[in-house]
């Protein structure tokens, strides 16, 4: 019997934490012996009373051979913190997950890993940043780790999949309860592309709100740096960034509009010392990748009149703007502005978001 099956069984009945499990393994030498350890042995290694009660009362209800068949049936791989395949940097954080479940393949090295996180409700500007900044990064061989959530996480994984680069998703539930379901196809493509869907939670366990901060420490812990693209003042992305700082990892942040709530968090990070990122070359330099891929989109469109020129010049400067702000910057009347915006939108030069922002796309 694979000894890691007993670590899985232990994880099914109680989570005893990284420090006690490390002490127990050093003392007893196998996960099977830990699973059947005496109360005194568990206490001596720092296992809490409630966890001991859970283990001793439930361990006779779970059968290693059936759990092995269950994992094999669903194609779920297991990695223990003592395995050579366990992510190197993750083993260096104080609260490392003792076990990882995964579909696909775990990374072989940590040197080219970058965590990318951000808000689920990104702006048109955030989407544009992700679509422009991330592809050159993934094309250079940097592998993105994110959380498979809606928003920036999804854009980060798609940037990797679209450039046929390996990417890794860490989820806040068991592997058999992928969330959100709308990203099922994306998860399949991540696995097909050589990456992995990863979780520390038992496969049958559904997502809970308290699981996501725990998930975030794995995202931060697996990579040498974390990039934040849009984050409000209170968000999971900022939790991930704070954890990265606690783990002595680099944190990068992309600035946004001073009028946007989803940029308040990134601006706070920059004020507190995060490296300001304005293009993909900034990241490539940090990863000592000398080849730089241009991220500047050039447009062959020539403004047909002065009104178009004023609008496009303003958008080139500010990335995206509300119509009122654009009217002030361009000095055009509202009627002239609306007429010109309509023509530019018809010709595919600009687009309007659902919340009123206008950005240039060509």
Give the pLDDT confidence of 22-49 residue by residue, as tens digits. Answer: 999 999 999 999 999 999 999 998 899 8
Query: Does the pLDDT at position 233 exceed 90?
Result: no
CATH architecture of 113-286: 3-Layer(aba) Sandwich (3.40)
Q: In what order do the strands lie in the sheet with 357-360?
A: 320-322, 357-360, 350-352
C-beta separation of 129 from 155 below 8 A = no
Using the predicted structure, report yes or no on whether residue 362 has a pLDDT greater than 70. Answer: no
Q: Checking DSSP bridges between strand 77-80 and strand 225-229, what pairing results, if any?
A: unpaired
pLDDT tier, 266 (very low <50, low <70, confident <90, very high otherwise): very high
The arithmetic mean of pLDDT across residues 317-339, rounded, is 79
Residue 291 pLDDT class (50, 70, 90 cuts) = very low
Residues 163-222 have pLDDT tens digits of 889 999 999 999 999 988 999 999 999 999 999 999 999 999 998 989 998 999 999 999
**What is the structure's pLDDT at 298?**
45
Note whether 28 and 83 are within 8 A (CB). Answer: no
Helix (H, G, I), strand (E, B) or coil at 179: coil
DSSP letter for each residue of 325-354: HHHHHHT--HHHHHHHHHHHHHTTSEEE-T
Q: What pLDDT score does 317 carry?
A: 65
Q: Are 358 and 321 in contact (CB under 8 A)?
A: yes
CA neighbor of 137 nearest in space, from 163, 109, 110, 105: 163
- How far apart are alpha carbons 226 and 254 in whole angstroms? 11
d(CA 8, CA 100) in angstroms, rounded, equals 9
Structural domain boundaries of the chain?
A: 4-74, 113-286, 306-360
Q: Comparing C-alpha atoms, which of 234, 236, 177, 237 is closest to residue 207?
A: 177
Q: Which fold has domain 306-360?
A: Arc Repressor Mutant, subunit A (1.10.10)
Assign 295 a pLDDT band (cuts: 50, 70, 90).
Answer: very low
Q: Across residues 245-252, what is the average pLDDT?
A: 94
């Amino acid at each position: 019997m694979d000894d890691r099956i007993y670590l899985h069984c232990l994880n099914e009945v109680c989570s005893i934490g990284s420090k006690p499990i490390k002490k127990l393994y050093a003392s007893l030498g196998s996960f099977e012996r830990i699973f059947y350890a005496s109360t005194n042995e568990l206490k001596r290694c720092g296992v809490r009373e409630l966890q001991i009660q859970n283990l001793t009362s439930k361990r006779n209800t779970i059968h290693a051979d059936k759990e092995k068949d269950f994992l094999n049936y669903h194609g779920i791989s297991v990695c223990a913190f003592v395995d050579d395949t366990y992510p190197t940097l993750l083993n260096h954080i104080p609260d490392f997950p003792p076990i990882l479940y995964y579909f696909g393949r775990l990374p072989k090295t940590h040197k080219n890993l970058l965590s990318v996180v951000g808000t689920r409700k990104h702006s048109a500007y955030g989407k544009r940043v992700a679509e422009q900044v991330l592809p050159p990064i993934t094309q250079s061989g940097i592998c993105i780790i994110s959380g498979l959530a809606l928003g920036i996480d999804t854009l980060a994984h798609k940037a990797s999949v679209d450039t046929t680069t390996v990417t890794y998703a860490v989820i806040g539930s068991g592997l058999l309860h992928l969330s959100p379901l709308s990203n099922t196809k994306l998860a399949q493509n991540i696995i097909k592309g050589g990456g992995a869907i990863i979780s520390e939670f038992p496969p049958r366990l559904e997502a809970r709100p308290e699981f996501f901060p725990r998930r975030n420490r794995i995202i931060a812990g697996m990579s040498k740096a974390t990039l934040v693209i849009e984050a409000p003042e209170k968000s999971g992305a900022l939790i991930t960034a704070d954890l990265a700082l606690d783990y002595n990892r680099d944190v990068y942040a992309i600035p946004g509009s001073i009028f946007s709530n989803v940029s308040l968090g990134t601006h706070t990070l920059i004020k507190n010392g995060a490296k300001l990122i304005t293009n993909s070359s900034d990241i490539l330099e940090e990863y000592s990748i000398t080849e730089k891929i241009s991220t500047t989109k050039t447009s062959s469109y020539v403004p047909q009149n002065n009104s178009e020129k004023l609008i496009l010049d303003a958008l080139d400067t500010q990335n995206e703007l509300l119509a009122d702000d654009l009217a002030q910057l361009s000095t055009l009347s509202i009627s002239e502005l609306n007429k010109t915006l309509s023509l530019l939108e018809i010709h595919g030069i600009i687009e309007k978001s659902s919340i009123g922002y206008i950005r240039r796309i060509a």
